[in-house]
Amino acid sequence: MKIAIIGGGYVGLVSAACFAEFGVSVMVAETDPARLDRLRRGEIPIYEPGLDPLVERNRAAGRLGFTGRIEEAIAGAEAVFIAVGTPSRRGGGHADLSYVFAAAEQVLAALDHPTVLVTKSTVPVGTGRRLAALAAARRPDLAIDVASNPEFLREGSAIGDFMRPDRVVVGAETERAREVLRALYRPLNLIETPILITGLETAELIKYAANAFLAMKVTFINEMADLCEAVGADVHGVARGMGLDRRIGAKFLHPGPGFGGSCFPKDTLALVRIAQDAGAPSRLIETVVAVNEARKAGMAGRVIAACGGTVRGKTIAVLGLTFKPETDDMRDSPAIPIVSRLVGDGAHVRVYDPQGMAQARMMLPDGVTYCPNALAALEAAEALVVATEWNEFRALDPARLAETMRGRAVIDLRNIFDPATLRAAGFAYHGIGRPGG
């Protein structure tokens, strides 16, 4: 079986490598010359654990290839997946579908055989129906079925999510489309993965609804953390007590500085706009978006308060810049407003992240000092801010911290340290939702 994937970004590249691992012949079309050149040289342009050897193994086996020509990618393909970006449009929050429809137009112009056109990108409800109408108008000479196959890949664990998923969602309304996608995912039958076959609109909405619900859990536990601080409770005990209820579950009940990344901020805002446009506004998700934005903006205030009300002229070390560990993605990371506010208020900010430094240089303000490791960032710092919970930060020795830092303020926005241990070492520890701050 042969398929084509249009777009060699995060979703497209991970999906291509994993489908190839299933034994499928996959050709990826990438229009960015620099990215295409790197892929052809065997260089992976994103950081995702396990992706490098997976791509190399399938390239060597001849199951995975890269091209800049749509015609070459789709030749003989039984399915063509569109996996391009759908960023938020400026000024409104609606998903920008220009890349999706540009890719579809190119595919339709180049096709010379019947196929299934599949949206892998996260697209608003109704997009599949619009693509079906476009296919019928542009290529009435060919039988082109349109399907939706949303991805549920978590950055940092995307390969496991693809190879051992909770479920596969397929929106398809013709038997041929259902057969092609069932055949593609047949290897998952061995592990009894549920494959949910729905209509186009239902599949498109499942993706948004799932991400919005998870974002709501994150926002809820963050608000509970604030309440815990006010009444002297421990948010981790609250989260554990909630998570043991099987109706709720423990995942995504981890307090912090707010959610970021490529999915939750974009998808929650897009769902708000989809609901408003449909005349069925989602007040709950509107509130989630507003509360999360306010939380991210307010985190720098916690740092400033812990530093005595001002950071002017002070050296602040910020460890972790990506929106979560095990990724190099800084999109909508809480670290961005934190560092920006600290720099704006006159602090000397020293930063380190194991994978996000290259992106940070493009997204953080001038005046930031980029350090080669955590201890270098901590040199002569009055305060330490933990913004991302990379495992290597958990292992920092309090005695070494005391030797390296000038001050004793620790603002742990991910609760990776034991408060008692740090306080016993002489630090003024400030966590999230913990007794005593």
Q: Cα 250 vs. chain centroid, distance in angstroms?
A: 20
pLDDT value of residue 436:
77
CATH fold of 2-198: Rossmann fold (3.40.50)
Which ranges of 307-334 does DSSP label H, i.e. alpha helix? none
**CA dihedral sign of residues 38, 39, 42, 45:** positive
pLDDT value of residue 276:
95
- 84 CB-contact burial (10 Å; exposed 0-12 / middle 13-18 / buried 19+): buried
Distance CA 424, CA 236 (A): 21
Q: In what order do the strands lie in the sheet with 409-412?
A: 369-370, 348-352, 315-319, 383-386, 409-412, 428-430
Instruction: Give strand ranges (E) for 39-108.
Output: 64-67, 79-82
Indicate the SS3 state at residue 251.
coil
pLDDT value of residue 91:
66
Residue-wise burial string across 170-202, b where 16 or more C-beta atoms lie within 10 A, e elsewhere: bbbbeeebbebbeebbeebeeeeeebebbebbe
Distance CA 275, CA 273 (A): 5
Distance CA 249, CA 265 (A): 22
- pLDDT tens-digit readout, 241-285: 999 999 999 999 999 999 999 899 999 999 999 999 999 999 999
The residues of the chain scoring below 70 in pLDDT are 91
Query: 3, 25 in Cβ contact below 8 A?
Result: yes
Task: Enumerate the domain spans of the chain.
Answer: 2-198, 208-289, 297-430
Nearest of 195, 249, 197, 193 to residue 221 by alpha carbon? 249
Indicate the SS3 state at residue 296.
helix
User: Quick one: which H or E segment has residue 358?
Assistant: helix 357-363
18, 228, 263, 371: the active-site residue: 263
Class of domain 297-430: alpha beta
pLDDT value of residue 403:
95
- Is residue 18 part of the annotated active site? The answer reads no
Nearest of 408, 419, 416 to residue 391 by alpha carbon? 416
CATH fold of 208-289: N-(1-d-carboxylethyl)-l-norvaline Dehydrogenase; domain 2 (1.10.1040)
Distance CA 94, CA 269 (A): 7
pLDDT value of residue 88:
87
Indicate if 297-430 has the same CATH topology as 208-289: no
Q: Residue 15, by phi and psi: left (phi above 0), alpha (psi -120 to 50) or beta?
A: alpha
Strands 79-82 and 64-67: unpaired
Distance CA 295, CA 308 (A): 20
HEC assignment per residue over 253-274: CCCCCCCCCCCHHHHHHHHHHH
